[in-house]
């Protein structure tokens, strides 16, 4: 039983180290690649955690599968039932948390769509008559495509060129389906507490991705920086779009000063030096290897348990 627990504990502890490597990797990559790396790592590490718990939960049932009385297995491994029960409880808790977060996100979308009932439509743009400055990307719902929601207060805050930046930013969120990436990472965070920082980091890099798309569209990085700063400063906590785990992505999301500073520098690119590429390759290998190792450990747990059951027989 000691080896079984060692295998599982290794699989469950791996995400803590992998998350640190993933965050370091994201900091070295352009926003698009960083966002994809964070989302992919969230899925892989959450999947590895679930597989490890399922493998542990399955151990007592191997005896029944081999027509071996459970009492004999318990006599050999006294803690097998409590440990499997703990794994089962963890799996149920994960399922409940994921379901609750998904339901909260769907409720947020429903409330937000209802709040745009009186908006003036202009293509993919919904203009809400409201003095409070707000702007955000609203994902599609029930046959409706995604929309950029902006209030008259926000439109009055920005000049014509700055409005182009704002709309380009929010349209980039819709075009690349950033809402799905954000939701995926926030749901994965319900599976393992170590994954929570990845959701926060991802939201920042998604905003950076949209910032860069808007800057490329208007062809002026300084203008984009000015527009992002002005729009974000106009949005107060009271008027910001709702934030329920997987938030609606808006121009005010994330540390705005860092985003503005990045726009005042040249467009980010993948590391060009041999040393930079080596660091990125090493971090990618570490993250992917950690997730795959968790799955391999769970498979090894299953094989070891079957072998041990055979010995008990």
Non-local CB neighbours of 108 within 8 Å, separated by 6+ positions: 242, 244, 248
Nearest alpha carbon to residue 169 among 298, 263, 36 = 263
- Mean pLDDT across the chain: 81
- Chain CA centroid to CA 202, Å: 6
Summarize the confidence of residues 123-144 as an average pLDDT. Answer: 86
The pTM score is 0.85
Q: Which two tokens stand for residue 117?
A: 């009932």
| Between 157 and 311, residue with greater pLDDT | 157
- Per-residue pLDDT tens over the stretch 161-202: 999 999 999 999 999 999 999 999 999 999 999 999 999 999
Q: Mean pLDDT throughout 107-131?
A: 89
């Amino acid at each position: 039983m000691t080896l079984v627990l060692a295998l599982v504990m290794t699989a469950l502890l791996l995400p803590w180290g992998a998350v640190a490597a993933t965050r370091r990797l994201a900091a070295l990559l352009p926003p698009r690649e960083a966002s994809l790396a964070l989302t992919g790592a969230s899925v892989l590490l959450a999947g590895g955690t679930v597989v490890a718990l399922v493998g542990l939960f399955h151990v007592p049932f191997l005896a029944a599968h081999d027509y071996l009385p459970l009492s004999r297995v318990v006599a050999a491994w006294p803690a097998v039932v409590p440990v499997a029960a703990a794994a089962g409880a963890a799996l149920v808790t994960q399922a409940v948390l994921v379901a609750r977060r998904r339901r909260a996100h769907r409720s947020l979308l429903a409330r937000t769509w209802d709040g745009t009932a009186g908006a003036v439509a202009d293509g993919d743009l919904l203009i809400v008559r409201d003095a409070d400055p707000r702007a955000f990307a609203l994902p599609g719902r029930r046959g409706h495509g995604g929309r950029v929601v902006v209030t008259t207060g926000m439109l009055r805050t920005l000049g014509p060129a700055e409005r182009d930046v704002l709309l380009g930013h929010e349209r980039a969120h819709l075009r690349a389906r950033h809402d799905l990436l954000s939701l995926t990472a926030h749901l994965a965070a319900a599976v393992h507490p170590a994954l929570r920082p990845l959701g926060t980091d991802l939201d920042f890099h998604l905003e950076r991705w949209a910032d860069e798309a808007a800057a490329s569209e208007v062809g002026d990085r300084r203008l984009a920086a000015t527009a992002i700063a002005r729009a974000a400063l106009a949005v107060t906590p009271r008027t910001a779009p709702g934030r329920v785990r997987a938030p609606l992505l808006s121009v005010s999301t994330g540390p705005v000063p860092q985003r503005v500073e990045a726009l005042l520098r040249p467009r980010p690119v993948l590391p060009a030096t041999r040393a930079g590429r080596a660091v990125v390759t090493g971090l990618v290998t570490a993250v992917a290897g950690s997730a795959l190792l968790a799955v391999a450990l769970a498979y090894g747990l299953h094989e070891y348990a079957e072998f041990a059951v055979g010995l008990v027989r």
